[in-house]
Amino acid sequence: MKAMSPAGSCGATRGGMLRTGAAITLLAIAAAGQAGVPAGTVTAADILRRAEEIRNPKAAYAVEFTLRTVNPASDWKERTSRYTMIARGKDDAMVLMRYPAQFYPGTLLMTGGTYWFLLPRADKPLQLSEHQILAGDIAYGDLARGNLLRSYEARLNGEETLGDSRCWRLELTRTSPEARYARVRCWIEQRSHRPRRFEYYGMTGVLLKTAVYTEYGGTRLGQRPARVEVTSPARPDETTTLLFTELRPLDLSRVSFTTEGLHAFRDAVLDCASAGDAQARVEDVVARLGRTGS
């Protein structure tokens, strides 16, 4: 991906921001792992449900994350971007672009499987197409926030050891048109139900992406992975790493996860900036929403 100039054309800026900004991802990670259960006493659906409580929990929270992509074979070699995500439950999230600075405060809304992107000073959000969601950096947000419980049926397909962990291997088959992958393979730790590895396959059966979850640790919301690495056979020289910090619960009752709420949130960030807070914390943004009645 070529570096973008902040003084580039409107079309170039918009396209670059969609590629970079939707890279969100974020990912919304993890509730505390639960004690393992003997394989013969649980169903595949139960294993998936417990793993999803870790990968994509129902909690209301905020998290800072960095997206770093390295490709030695490319012209750009390495690129880094930073974001803040707020999430409510499994289906609603907003991602605020922090860096590169020229993209602040572009904001992405993910709700019910649809994606909207609002440029820093645009009047209307752009609804992202299926191709935009699956292509490039935008796909990372879909991997992180896709609701597997709603869109897939799970089947237990054996056991396997990854590193020092014994895992269940699940096969997920799409049951809804909104599912963007025909098939997903999952490796889930038997002892803790932590997600370890997810493989995402396209409609033709081709492996599109692999996500590996590591560096689980204690947070204010329980045990969560701090690192996710994503690779793709289509880009064998490229690795994208998502690093998460400052995961904390947050009251989001003032936030509307709609296109109107997207506008209100972005404008509240701009208000903070005009008041001298160039990189406002989302706690301050949400508080401003309450004061302005947005």
Region for 293 from its dihedrals, namely left if φ exceeds 0, alpha if ψ lies in -120 to 50, beta otherwise: left
The rounded Cα 262 to chain-centroid distance in angstroms is 17
Confidence of residue 23 (pLDDT cuts 50, 70, 90): very low
Whether 207 is in a domain gets the answer yes
Residue 32, token pair as written in the block: 């505390």
Number of domains in the chain: 1
Continuous segment of H or E residues that includes residue 289: helix 282-292
Look up residue 197 and give its amino acid.
R
Cβ-contact 256, 268 below 8 angstroms: no
Which pTM does this prediction carry? 0.81
Region for 68 from its dihedrals, namely left if φ exceeds 0, alpha if ψ lies in -120 to 50, beta otherwise: beta
Whether 5 is in a domain gets the answer no
CATH number at residue 235: 2.50.20.10
**Mean of pLDDT values over 24-33:** 34
Whether 194 is in a domain gets the answer yes
- 255-282 pLDDT, tens digit each: 999 999 999 999 999 998 877 777 889 9
> Which phi and psi angles does 69 have, rounded to 5°?
-115, 130
Whether 260 is in a domain gets the answer yes
Whether 139 is in a domain gets the answer yes
Domain ranges, residue 49? 10-292
Whether 98 is in a domain gets the answer yes
Rounded CA gap, 95 and 106, in Å? 8
Q: Among all chains, which residue has been given the structure tokens 């294993």? A: 47
Whether 197 is in a domain gets the answer yes
Whether 107 is in a domain gets the answer yes
